[in-house]
Chains A and B, each alone.
Chain A
Amino acid sequence: MRVFSFVALTVLSFTSFCYAAGPVVLVKHQEQYNGYMKLPRLSEVVTTVNTVPALYWPAARLYKTDPESVNALELQRQELLKVLANLKQAYLLDDEAELAASTEALSQDVKNWVLAEQLFLALDPDKVRAKPALNPILRAGQYLLQVENRSETITVAGFAQNTEVQFINAADASDYFAGIKPLAGASSSFLYILPAAQQVIQAKIGLWNSQRQDVPAGAILYVPFEQRNLPSEFENLNQQVIELLQHRVVL
């Protein structure tokens, strides 16, 4: 398997390869592009990139950046923006100015998200090389492999004023909530944790339901809207936001 490494002159341009001579899988990592002529196993992709010990694999994320995937997510984003706009209208009609303002703030945030389809696969090279079940063959296309040094911050999304908080080692989810400035209408009982390459965890942080929940480094925290404040047509709003947030690329 020959691997091409070359510095990209156009950083975020996705050129499509229509001739058979080009690589079938292109993986971008930290400004470098790795191309593969035959469909690679996941282990090849991660070991090629694993050249520096400081890379923190538990926070690694793999995204599929093909135009088709991104367009599908774009449609999902428009759908969500429409729902948020409707919700804002509903609040304005009900004379809930603060809740409408919160909804608008989230709306603005969602508009600025960079989206790509996240694949929920284990990425640590040690795991992936050891167990065949964790080492599938990737589909043809373009990928973004995001793995860097261990981050000092945790990204915050949702109904909060912060965009990020300081990462605290081995801390409980409620500790992070103490450092977040929630917007009006945000829930004080639940916090959603979106760890890298894993499914969502619901953390219970209220006085009435608190349970210890670890927050892994590199996770995204989502501050949900209080379910009580949501009209019945919008009761799945938090789920919809999370579904899109899972495919957000945090640069």
Chain B
Amino acid sequence: MKKLYLSTVITALLSPVSFAETNQPSPNTYSQMTQGGVGLIQMPTARHNEAGSFSLNYQDSEEYRFWSASLQLFPWMETTVRYTDVRTQLYSEDPTFSGDQTYKDKGIDVKFRLWQESEFLPQISAGFRDFGGTGLFESEFIAASKRVGPFDFHLGIGWGYLGSKGNIDNPFCDIRDSFCERPGGFSGSGGKIDYQKFFKGPAALYGGIEYQTPWAPLLLKLEYDGNNYQQDKAGVLLQDSDYNLAAVYRLNDAFDLNVNYQRGNTFGFGVNYKLNFNTVKQIKLDPPAKEIPVVLPTATDSLDKAELRRDLYLNAGFLVNNYVLKDEEIVLKGRQIAYRDEAESINRVGRVLANHLPEQIKTYRIVTISGDMPMVETVINAEQFISAARYETPDADVKTSYQRVEPEVQNENWAVERDETGFGYSAELFWIQTFGNPESFYMYQGGLFLGGVYQFNTNFSLQSTAKINLLTNFDQFNFKVDSQNTGVPRVRTYIREYVTRSDVTMENLYGHWKDELADNWYGQVYAGYLETMYGGVGGELLYKPIDSTLAVGLDLNYVRQRSYEKELAFFDYKTFTGHLSFYWKPQFLDDTMITASFGQYLAKDKGVTIDFAKRFDSGIVVGAYGAFTDMSAAEYGEGSFTKGFYVSIPFDLFSLKSATGRGRIPWVPISRDGGQMLNKPVSLNGLTEDRAPFVR
């Protein structure tokens, strides 16, 4: 007898290749809750989506509006960030400060999987909601989920906002008395993780059922709420019923629409936009990689150098800077400008070379340069490469025919005499945006960075950038400097002055020297106006072996604060600032980089900045950082310490042709004067990315 098909998902756990002939529908994801993150309606569940799953959500109900983004960083860890609009409260009591804007709040959640589901045991997860903020919805929970056919059963215990109903005794209260009462308020000046509150106070049992209807797009949810809505920021909310209902309609792979009926008296609705950072990609209309003919060219005389250079550029995305053609090998120096993946890049370059070069050339040496310095040399054994590229064995793999080594090109007799001096120009678009401002929720400034450089030789240059604002609403600022005078030098909190001084400003003007000092060692020195707010002198040293998991850098600077009133003048504030940085790619986490920078910051506070970045298969990089210094939360002010998030998106996810280059979207909840590093004009670790690729 035929069974009714329920959820429709692909899994090919042992077979990563899925052939397009099957009629398999694409993977289903667990639906989001109102506040963002996988869950029922108000209550979170133990479920996790596939790693890389991302959801951008908008949820609307009478008292609250939520904009949230939820990302499954690892199969066992989900993170959510959220902006809340409390419609029944005002942003502040002062109309000159914030007009009639309603109350806004930020929140961050995290959820960990503790136990995977099996035939008889449920999936168990624990999570922390709205920690590290002013904690309007601050809660902890432990949840269990079990699926039986089309039903998914959930049960959980919540503490804090999720547990305010208090229908059970807090189990931790039986173990230790301190867990019976939940401390109120928040530590520091908000923005800190309040460990001392975790799992304390009243606890509530909650649960729910999700039913996947026989009609694939429709999912129904029933939930027993653990919250009694007596302590909501929006005010005491009437709860006519402990049960909430929702229906989710999956419009297509990208959109989920939902409606819900909460507390027996309120309707709400929302939309979710789903993406998977691991699988998202764009169709590419690149020229096909060249096939290698059976008959190869025989002599060097027939080599058409102009055509070889053109083929390398158009087909392999390799811009040749210089070359040496010897009896049995060719050395090429240049940059890759199209293909982000090294394997594809070398495959294409090798094929172009094999098509043009005669058989006696046995070795191709391809040197990748960055900032005029050789980064890495890929040595291709031509015979093995050609045999693999012609598929002369059933398990032919081009990757086995080359290796990456330290470049040995100091004494080469380059074919072209290049004049390395001269002028250069560049133009780059920028867009600055901030959320949650009192004057207007969304404020922005966009324009152009026009750059000019005079290069004296490959090591030394003079650089300058002008910032031109084209589109901005920063003129709506009601105040330029906030009123929190905590005694700490204002190293960054004059930001509004700097960005509103004039529509055309000099961003930087400095002399720059860089060189490869020895094998694996790189150095740079710069002096002048280094960034918007600081000028001075500084240098950096970096140790970065090829394909290593650890790189170490040291930078030292002596800077003086630039004036926000006059273009070229300085204020009196001077300081040393410098850091010892470790760039580490741990083996036990896939595609992750942790950067730890220890040193002294601009406000003379000392501490460490930790940056955690995860790269997904599509090239999207998501990161979070925090600066932990000896500046106290009281001295720091609102937010307690500097933290931020960013998403770096490769441009060719949007284009039909492969391209290198990416854009970075930052989100900085609060940035004040503590833990602030100098924005160095050039970062050696970024410059030497090719030596140990992470971002690609």
Contacts and interface: CB of A to CB of B under 8 A. Distances in A.
Interface of A: 42, 58, 119, 121, 132-133, 135-139, 170, 172, 174-175, 178, 188-189, 192, 198-204, 206-214, 216, 228
A207 B148 contact: yes
A136 B391 contact: yes
A207 B394 contact: no
A214 B147 CA distance: 22
20 contacts: A119-B394, A121-B394, A132-B291, A132-B390, A133-B391, A136-B396, A137-B391, A138-B394, A188-B119, A189-B119, A199-B15, A204-B11, A206-B119, A208-B118, A208-B146, A209-B147, A210-B7, A212-B5, A212-B9, A213-B24
A153 B10 CA distance: 24
B12 A201 contact: yes
Interface in B4-21: 5-17, 19, 21
A175 B3 contact: yes
B291 A139 contact: no
B571 to A, nearest CB: 63
Nearest to B19: A198
B149 interface: yes
Nearest to A39: B392
B15 to A, nearest CB: 4
B23 A170 contact: yes
Closest 3 A/B residue pairs (Cβ): A211-B9, A136-B391, A199-B15
A119 B393 CA distance: 12
Given A175-B2, A202-B13, A207 B23 contact: no
Nearest to B396: A136
B393 A200 contact: no
Contact of A214 (B22, B117, B392): B22
B14 A198 contact: no
A172 B13 contact: no
Contacts of A42: 394
A121 B7 CA distance: 32
B62 to A, nearest CB: 37
Contact of A137 (B7, B148, B149, B393): B393
Contacts of B119: 188-189, 206, 208, 228
Interface string B380-403: 000000000011111010000000
Given A198-B19, A202-B14, 16 more contacts: A58-B21, A121-B394, A132-B390, A137-B391, A137-B394, A170-B23, A174-B3, A178-B1, A201-B12, A201-B14, A203-B11, A210-B149, A211-B7, A211-B10, A212-B24, A214-B22
Contacts of B6: 210
Given A136-B394, A206-B119, A209-B147, A214 B15 contact: no
A200 B146 CA distance: 27
A202 B147 contact: no
A199 B17 contact: yes
A211 B17 contact: no
Interface of B: 1-3, 5-17, 19, 21-25, 117-119, 146-149, 291, 390-394, 396
Contacts of A138: 394
B8 A207 contact: no
B393 A136 contact: yes
B23 A202 contact: no
A192 B11 CA distance: 12
A202 B12 contact: yes
B24 A214 contact: yes
Given A132-B291, A136-B392, A202-B13, A212 B147 contact: no
A213 B394 contact: no
B316 to A, nearest CB: 17
Contacts of B390: 132
B392 A137 contact: yes
B117 A213 contact: no
Contacts of A137: 391-394
Contacts of A121: 394
Given A132-B391, A208-B119, A172 B5 contact: yes
Contacts of A192: 14
Nearest to B12: A201
A42 B395 CA distance: 13
A187 to B, nearest CB: 9
Contacts of B147: 207-209
A203 B14 CA distance: 10
Given A198-B17, A202-B12, A208-B148, A216 B22 contact: yes
Contacts of A214: 22-24
A172 B1 CA distance: 12
Contacts of A204: 11
Contact of A200 (B3, B14, B24, B396): B14
Contacts of B23: 170, 214
Contacts of A209: 117, 147
A200 B13 CA distance: 9
Which among B5, B23, B119 has the greatest number of chain A C-beta atoms within 10 A?
Answer: B119
Which among B390, B392, B393, B394 has the greatest number of chain A C-beta atoms within 10 A?
Answer: B394
Contacts of B11: 202-204, 211, 213
Contacts of A136: 391-394, 396
Nearest to B24: A214
A213 B14 CA distance: 13
A175 B394 CA distance: 36
B361 to A, nearest CB: 23
Contacts of B10: 211-213
A145 to B, nearest CB: 14
Nearest to A122: B19
A172 B10 CA distance: 11
A237 B148 CA distance: 28
Contacts of A170: 23
B383 to A, nearest CB: 15
A178 B3 CA distance: 10
A214 B22 CA distance: 7
A188 B119 CA distance: 9
A132 B391 CA distance: 8
A89 B291 CA distance: 57
Nearest to A58: B21
Contacts of B22: 214, 216
B3 A201 contact: no
Nearest to A134: B391
Nearest to B148: A207
Contacts of A133: 391
A209 B116 CA distance: 12
A209 B121 CA distance: 12
B144 to A, nearest CB: 13
A119 B148 CA distance: 39
B178 to A, nearest CB: 39
A216 to B, nearest CB: 7
B272 to A, nearest CB: 21
Contacts of A175: 2-3
A219 to B, nearest CB: 12
Contacts of B291: 132
Contact of A212 (B8, B15, B146): B8
Contacts of A200: 14-15
Which among B14, B16, B23 has the greatest number of chain A C-beta atoms within 10 A?
Answer: B14
A206 B119 CA distance: 8
B290 to A, nearest CB: 11
A174 to B, nearest CB: 7
A219 B434 CA distance: 56
Nearest to A214: B22
A202 B10 CA distance: 10
